[in-house]
Structure formats: C-alpha cells, structure tokens
Amino acid sequence: MIHPEIILFLARADNGVIGDGDTIPWRLPEDQRRFKRMTMGKPMIMGRKTFDSLPGMLPGRRHIVLTRDKKWEAEGAEIAGNLKNALKIANSPHIAVIGGAEIYKAFLDKADRIELTEVHISPTGDIKMPAFDDAVWEETEREDHDAKNDQPAFSFVTLKRK
Ligand SMILES: NC(=O)c1ccc[n+]([C@@H]2O[C@H](COP(=O)([O-])OP(=O)(O)OC[C@H]3O[C@@H](n4cnc5c(N)ncnc54)[C@H](OP(=O)(O)O)[C@@H]3O)[C@@H](O)[C@H]2O)c1
C-alpha cells in the first residue's frame, strides 16, 4: 500500500493546553467549521477518551477508536488495539488523527502534516501538548484572526514535515 498522508488536527492554547478533563476550554465556531470541512470524508483516528467526549457521531466520517480495553464497544466506532491496526483499518490515502494528547503524541513521528489552530489564550487545563519542533516542522500557511465578542484571537497554521 502507498504510504497514506497522516494529518494531525488540533487546537492548542499558547500555554500548551488542549483539554481540561473531558472538555476543550474554549469555543471557536470558525475552528469547528474548518475542522468539519477539512476532515469530511477522511477516516478519523482518535483515542477512546476523545470519542467518549464527542457530543455524538460526526457525520460523513468514520470513527476509528484506539483502546486497549478488549471489551470496549460503542455504536458506530471501529475499534483498533494499536496504531498499526488503526492505520490498516483506515485504509485511505488521507487519514485524520483527531486527538487527544495521548494519540497525538503516539502519531507525531508518523505525521506528515499538522493542521494547528493556535488559540491565543492561556486557560487552565490538565491535558497539554508541547510546542512543535521547528527543526522538524515547517510552517507553510498562517491565517491570523483577531479576538471578537467573547471569542479569543486565534491562528490557523499548517505545519509540514521538513
Ligand atoms: N484541542 C483539541 O484539538 C483536542 C482534540 C481532541 C481531544 N482534546 C481533548 O483531549 C482530552 C483527551 O485526551 P487524552 O490524552 O486524555 O485521551 P485520548 O488520547 O483521547 O484517549 C486516550 C485513550 O486512548 C487509548 N490509547 C492510547 N494510546 C493507545 C495505544 N497506543 N493503543 C491502544 N489504545 C490507546 C486508551 O484507551 P483505553 O483507556 O480505553 O484503553 C487511552 O486511555 C480531552 O480533554 C479532549 O477534550 C482536545
């Protein structure tokens, strides 16, 4: 099989926070719309905790869930016990890895591209991701958005493996 393009989709605050408990500590409708548009039609790989935190199934996309619990099941979820198996099940030229932190860290070495939303706040949260290494990742696109109403400033950034 041809090597698939593995794309990480994540939103990260300036202090590294990506989650707080089982939620994300901000709401950015524009980011949600971009996420939907860019992931549509791609199989999504996610951790079991992220799957549990979804409000429901995301339409138009397969949900491949990593878990070590052999008894775990959920309607609509395709289950994988390890990374290799998740990629095999995905069987697609473009694969979206959608979190959370454990899964991003596990796929970081395999990822070709990161679609990063920088959220320009420093919220409280126990789930973090370190900054991406400039020696490995090249910023190829950036779109900055000012804060407005109750929404923080944010930037859509594309990082490609050098
Ligand atoms: N800001 C963002 O863009 C974003 C995106 C997604 C999620 N989040 C946030 O991230 C948080 C969840 O992240 P998290 O790191 O706690 O959990 P997670 O990565 O979503 O899920 C972790 C679980 O995945 C399974 N797992 C991990 N590595 C595995 C492996 N190598 N093989 C098989 N199964 C594996 C285990 O499930 P079992 O325990 O079932 O074995 C583990 O408990 C939430 O706060 C969520 O809101 C943020």
Q: Is the CB of 11 under 6 A from ligand 1?
A: yes
The whole-number pLDDT of residue 5 equals 98
CA of 160 to the centre of ligand 1 (A): 23
103 lies in which domain range?
5-161
- Position 85: which residue type? N
| pTM (two decimals) | 0.98
Total domains present in the chain: 1
* Ligand 1 atom showing the smallest separation from residue 20 Cα: 45
CATH of the domain at 122: 3.40.430.10
Give the position of tokens 């099989």: 1
Looking at residue 1, its pLDDT comes to 57
pLDDT of residue 2: 67
Which residues fall within 8 angstroms of residue 71, CB to CB, at 6 or more apart? none
Contact status, residue 49 vs residue 156, Cβ threshold 8 Å: no
Q: Is there an atom of ligand 1 within 6 Å of 103 CB? A: yes
With 70 as the cut, is the pLDDT of residue 122 above it?
yes
Of 32, 127, 154, the residue with max ligand 1 atoms within 8 A of its CB, to mutate for a pocket test, comes to: 127
E-strand spans in 25-132? 44-47, 63-66, 77-80, 94-97, 113-119, 127-128
Given this model, what pLDDT does residue 65 score? 98
Give percent of the chain with pLDDT exceeding 90: 97
Mean pLDDT, residues 95-108 taken together: 98
Is the omega angle on the peptide bond into residue 99 within 30 degrees of 0, that is, cis?
Answer: no
d(CA 35, CA 38): 5
